[in-house]
């Protein structure tokens, strides 16, 4: 119970919002991967030469593309929920976690060799994110009320 | 020339995020992602002019970025993405009335450094 006590208007809501931020990022990345997979197996895509309708049919005949868009849209919706709750200048830096997610998945799942320079860069980004989070959050509209 | 294109992509992306945030500020906080409110969100956001403006900006930013990647190496283009974080902090303070404190600026500075290292040595 004692952890619930808030000291002043500043709080650190990121721990509560982190699941939705991560959800948004994971849906976004999976959507991107599906669209990329679909685009690769689709063959030449040329609406100017083949006509718009034929190109749309070609695109939506590709299961990975059809599956990719909903993922992409879900990622965006979750991000809008995050934006509805947090300052943009507080929430946006957390998107840097994408670099960590991508490095981890390429290392653990794809078996790629992620070299030291990239881990150094990712460490810096994560430290930066932790600093932003450490500063806490006073929503802009609440700040106006408090003053 | 490519630099201009890269900067255009960055600006479109930051403008898109700013519009999305301005739109959500007008809608108010979404209480839960397991609620009717969330199910209605796709329709609700379509009535927000700022979101309707933000989405195409966001999508054009992605297109410009693909164009950039078709012209130059990823490792050349990558560090410029760090500008996103700086500009978002700047614009949030100027246009959204957010209090961008020392923690946020310091954090953004360290992230910028990380993105630059990623481009150079990643």
pLDDT tens per residue across all 147 residues of chain A? 444 444 445 666 677 888 999 999 999 888 888 887 887 887 777 778 888 888 888 888 889 889 988 998 899 999 999 999 999 999 999 999 988 888 888 888 778 888 899 899 999 999 999 999 888 887 655 544 343
What's this model's pTM, rounded to 2 decimal places?
0.84
Interface predicted TM-score (ipTM) of this complex, two decimals: 0.91
Q: Provide CB contacts within 8 A for A42, sequence distance 6+.
A: A58, A59, A62, A65
**Confidence at residue A143, expressed as pLDDT on a 0 to 100 scale:** 44
A-chain CB neighbours of B53 within 8 Å are: none
Nearest chain A alpha carbon to B79: A121
Residue A12: the pLDDT is 65
Asked if B49 and A56 count as a contact pair (C-beta separation under 8 A), the reply is no
Interface-testing mutation among B18, B84, B104, B119, with chain A (most A C-beta atoms within 10 A): B104
Distance from CA of B10 to the nearest CA of A (A): 14
Nearest CA in chain A to B51: A80
Longest distance between any two alpha carbons in chain A, whole Å: 67
């Amino acid at each position: 119970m004692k952890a619930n006590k808030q000291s002043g208007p500043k709080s650190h809501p990121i721990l509560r919002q982190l699941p939705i931020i991560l959800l948004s990022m994971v849906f976004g990345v999976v959507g991107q991967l599906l669209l990329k997979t679909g685009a690769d197996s689709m063959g030449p895509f040329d609406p100017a030469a083949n006509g718009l309708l034929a190109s749309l049919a070609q695109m939506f005949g590709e299961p990975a593309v059809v599956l990719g868009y909903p993922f992409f849209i879900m990622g965006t919706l979750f991000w809008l929920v995050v934006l509805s709750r947090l300052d943009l200048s507080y929430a946006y830096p957390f998107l840097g976690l994408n670099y960590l997610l991508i490095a981890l998945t390429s290392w653990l799942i794809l078996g790629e060799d992620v070299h030291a320079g990239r881990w150094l860069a990712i460490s810096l980004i994560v430290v930066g994110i932790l600093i932003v989070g450490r500063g806490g959050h006073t929503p802009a509209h609440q700040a106006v009320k408090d003053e | 020339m490519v630099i201009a294109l890269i900067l255009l992509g960055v600006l479109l992306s930051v403008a898109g995020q700013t519009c999305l945030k301005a739109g959500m500020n007008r809608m108010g906080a979404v209480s839960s992602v397991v609620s009717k409110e969330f199910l209605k969100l796709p329709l609700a956001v379509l009535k927000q002019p700022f979101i309707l403006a933000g989405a195409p900006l966001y999508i054009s930013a992605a297109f410009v970025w693909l164009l950039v990647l078709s012209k130059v190496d990823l490792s050349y283009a990558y560090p410029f993405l760090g500008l996103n974080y700086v500009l978002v902090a700047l614009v949030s303070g100027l246009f959204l009335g957010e209090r961008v404190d020392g923690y946020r600026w310091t954090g953004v500075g360290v992230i910028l450094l990380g993105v630059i290292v990623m481009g150079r040595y990643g």
